[in-house]
Each structure stands twice: as structure tokens, then as C-alpha cells.
Amino acid sequence: MPLASSLRGAKGTVLRVALLAACGAGLAGCDALDSINPFGPEKYKPEVIARVPADKMYSEGLAKLEDRDYEAATKKFENLDKEYAYSDWSRKAVLMTAYSNYESARYEDAISASKRYLQRHPGSKDAAYAQYLLAMSHYKQIPDVTRDQERSERALVALQELVQKYPTSEYAADAKAKIQITRDQLAGKEMAVGRYYLERRNFPAAINRFRDVVSKYQTTRHAEEALERLVEAYMALGIVAEAQTAAAVLAHNFPDSPWYKDAYALLQSGGLEPREEKSSWISKAFRGIIGIETRTAEAQ
């Protein structure tokens, strides 16, 4: 082979190796070499992608919401939050991310977005709504009374925070109503477990459950039954004074209740009458709640 041809071949090989090595060093180097590469087909022309205006991205997200395409709406709002971080558009986007997740029943994602909003914008005019979405996302996951009630407890905490932090908000009234429903749910769970123990004659364990209902959930619909069940359990254990007190408190607070009739009949079968012992925890529990209600009424 002629020497000149060999040299040209060697130079070509060296040049190709150098180009490959330069590309391996980074994209910037590769792009620069492409512009002077005598063997390249064309020079590289970078494509400039125009940034979508924030108001347009927000409107597109709202349009997806109207179409009930919640997944697409969520993506639009999440992208808006990233593209315009720390702007007012970002604030709106996070809130709408929470809302679109809530509407699509992606409650855990709604909870995360709501918390993110509250952490970033605790003093915002929409903070009450973010707290409401947070509380409702927990509330929607409350299970039936036979299952663990951890979600009910989380819902109760979130609803109570809404009422405490934003008492004049438009969501406070609904939160108060749902607090009562949630408390009723928690009381129902305690009653179910208490009945279970009572049926198996584990009276101390049953009393502990009914005691929780009387102590914590006096304003729920389960309070009447809890007092009557306490009469049953205390009578079975021979703790007469507490049985009489439970019946007396039941008579005072729920005189027309069928549960009081059962409690009265049970006491009479043992030759006893309802009689309140003021030092009893039962008496104190209801005296406390009555006192609170009285002070609230006087304040109003």
C-alpha cells in the first residue's frame, strides 16, 4: 500500500477515535465537535421549546377537571407547581392538586398535597379549604365499626383542627357535624368490643370499654346503652353502688330511654333502686359534660 494512503487511513482512524473520546467526555463536548466534524452530515441545531404560560397551564388543568379527567388534571397542576415554583400560580396549583386527587378518590395523595399546601401557605385565605380537604380525605376512609378505627381517629383530629384554627370559615359547620358522626363511630367500636366481652362474662374488660364511651363520648347515641351495660356488668360483679349510680345517671339524662327501663328492671330484680353516688366516676363524667354545656349556653 502506498505510504500516502496509509497515512490518510491512519489519520482518519485517529480522528474518529478522538471524536468518540470527546463525546464520551460529555454532551457539550460532543455537540461542539459535531459543529466542526468534517465527516458529520449536518451541524447540530438546538431546539428551543417555548415555556407554556402559567395561566394557560392552570386553565388546561381546570378544563381537565371539568371533563372529570382527574389524572390528567393532577399532572397539569403538578407541572405548573414545578414550572412556576414559589409563585402564586404554584400556590394555586398545589391546592388544585389536592382537590383533583380528592375528587378521584386518591385520598392519600390528596392528604399529601393538602399538607404541603398548609406547610407552605399556613396564612393563606385558602388554608381553611386545604384543611377541609385534608380532613375529608381522612373522613372518606373511615371503615365500618368492626374494623380498626385509626382512620376515624385521624379524621377526628383533622376535623377538630379545622374548627379550632378556622372557626369562622364556611367549612366549620360541616366539620362540627362530621365530628359528631366520627365520635359516634369511635363510640360504636368501643361498644362492639364491650358487648363481646360482656357476652363472654369478662366483666372487667367490658366495663373498661363502656367506661370509655361514658367518659369520652357522652354526647353520642351510644351513651344510653353504655350506662345500661354498666349496670349489667357491675351487678354481675356485685358492685352494687356503681350499678345503682349508672342507672340513676341514665334516668336523669335519658328518662324515656328503653335502656333505662332495662336497667331499672335489672336493679329491681335484685331488690334495688337507682341511687346516684356523687363520688362515682360515672356521676363525675356526666356532671362534667353538663357543666360544659351550661357554660356554653350562658356564654351564648
Task: Retrieve residue 27's grid coordinates.
Answer: 454532551
CA neighbor of 254 nearest in space, from 290, 280, 284: 290
Instruction: Map grid coordinates 366516676 to a residue.
Output: 281
Asked whether 182 and 156 are in contact (CB, 8 A), the reply is yes
Instruction: Map grid coordinates 331488690 to a residue.
Output: 271
**Residues present in the chain in total:** 300
The 10 Å Cβ neighbour count of residue 102 is 22
Half-sphere exposure of 58 (CA within 13 A, CB side): 15
Q: What pLDDT was estimated at residue 283? A: 93
Q: What pLDDT was estimated at residue 35? A: 47
Entry pTM: 0.76
pLDDT over 70 (residue 120) = yes
> pLDDT tens across 187-207, in order?
999 999 999 999 999 999 999
To the nearest 10 degrees (0 to 180), the angle between helices 127-139 and 88-103 is 20
Round to whole Å and give the CA distance between 92 and 79. Answer: 12
The full set of domains in the chain, from first to last, is 187-299 (1.25.40.10)
Residue type (1 letter), 100:
S
> pLDDT tens across 65-108, in order?
999 999 999 999 999 999 999 899 999 999 999 999 999 999 99
Round to whole Å and give the CA distance between 249 and 227. Answer: 8
